[in-house]
């Protein structure tokens, strides 16, 4: 029996999100968010229509990777939302923005929408930078 790449990607994403429950923010960032955002940022550049006509030639396997990464971020966002992780309205807003952009990336990956995926990836980058500037100063 042959398993479709999308089914494998979905299974991996759900397993990763389920495994993230109970992690500290630091652990979840290192084990779930960092690898997923690296994939999203890379694919976001590959599919960005501003990068020329080759952006439309991204393989189905690469789109499956983008979808799986987006779904992992959605799972992580569920764990990051709310004052139980960090108190304050700014944290909650950053986590909510992160969740929305992960959802946008997932929807764009499902449609193989390069422009939409690239926009979501850029938005995630901006959200990550803004949150890190407040909660995790880069050294």
**pLDDT given at position 4:** 43
**Cα 85 to Cα 74: distance, rounded to the nearest angstrom:** 16
**pLDDT given at position 86:** 66
**Cα 17 to Cα 32: distance, rounded to the nearest angstrom:** 8
**pLDDT given at position 123:** 95
**pLDDT given at position 9:** 38
pLDDT in tens, the chain (139 residues): 343 443 333 333 433 444 455 678 888 889 999 999 999 999 999 999 888 776 678 899 999 999 999 999 998 888 887 555 666 788 888 888 999 999 999 999 999 999 999 999 999 999 988 888 887 766 5
Dihedral of CA atoms 93, 98, 103, 105 in degrees, nearest 10, equals: 140
Look up tokens 């986590």; give the residue: 95
**pLDDT given at position 2:** 40
**pLDDT given at position 114:** 92
**pLDDT given at position 84:** 58
């Amino acid at each position: 029996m042959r398993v479709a790449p999308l089914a494998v990607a979905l299974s991996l994403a759900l397993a990763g999100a389920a495994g993230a429950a109970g992690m500290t923010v630091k652990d979840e960032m290192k084990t779930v968010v960092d690898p997923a955002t690296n994939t999203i940022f890379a694919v976001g550049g590959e599919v960005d229509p501003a990068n020329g006509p080759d952006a439309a030639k991204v393989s189905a396997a690469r789109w499956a990777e983008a979808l799986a990464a987006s779904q992992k971020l959605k799972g992580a966002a569920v764990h990051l939302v709310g004052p139980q992780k960090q108190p304050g309205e700014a944290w909650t807003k950053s986590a909510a923005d992160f969740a929305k952009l992960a959802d946008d990336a997932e929807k764009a990956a499902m449609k193989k929408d390069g422009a939409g995926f690239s926009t979501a990836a850029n938005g995630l980058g901006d959200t990550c930078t803004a949150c890190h500037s407040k909660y995790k100063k880069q050294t």
